[in-house]
Amino acid sequence: MNALSMVATFFKEGGVVMYFMLALAVVVIAIAAERFIVITRAGGLNSKKLVSDLIFYVQKGNLGAARNCSRMSNAPAARVAEAILLVAGADEARMQAVADDAATLALAPLSRRLPHLNVLANVATLLGLLGTISGLIMAFSAVSAADPSQRSAFMAAGISTALNATAFGLMIAIPTLVLQGYLTGLVEGIAEQVDETSIRLSQALGERNATHAAGHVLPLPAKGAAARAGMAAQGGAQ
Which of 11-20, 46-55, 164-173: highest mean pLDDT? 164-173
Which of 26-40, 73-87, 151-165: highest mean pLDDT? 26-40
Q: Which domain holds residue 27?
A: 9-213
Residue 1 lies in a domain: no
pLDDT digits (tens, 9 = 90+) for 39-57: 998 888 787 888 888 888 8
Residue 112 lies in a domain: yes
Long-range CB contacts (within 8 A, 24+) of 34-43: 34/113, 35/112, 35/113, 35/114, 35/183, 36/183, 38/109, 38/110, 39/110, 39/183, 39/186, 39/187, 39/190, 40/186, 42/75, 42/76, 42/110, 42/190, 43/75, 43/186, 43/189, 43/190, 43/193
pLDDT digits (tens, 9 = 90+) for 108-148: 999 999 999 999 999 999 999 999 998 888 877 776 666 66
Give the model's pLDDT for residue 156: 79
As for how many domains the chain has, the answer is 1
Region 185-197: what's the mean pLDDT? Answer: 91
Give the model's pLDDT for residue 175: 96
Surface-to-core class of residue 69, CB atoms within 10 Å of its CB (0-12 exposed, 13-18 middle, 19+ buried): buried
Query: CA 195, CA 202: separation in Å to the nearest integer?
Result: 11
* C-alpha of 51 from chain center: 20
Region 54-79: what's the mean pLDDT? Answer: 87
Give the model's pLDDT for residue 218: 42
* C-alpha of 152 from chain center: 52
Region 15-43: what's the mean pLDDT? Answer: 93
Residue 4 lies in a domain: no
Give the model's pLDDT for residue 114: 93
Query: CA 211, CA 109: separation in Å to the nearest integer?
Result: 38
Residue 220 lies in a domain: no
The torsion defined by the Cα of 87, 88, 94 and 95, in degrees rounded to 10, comes to: 100
Residue 3 lies in a domain: no
Residue 155 lies in a domain: yes
Residue 223 lies in a domain: no
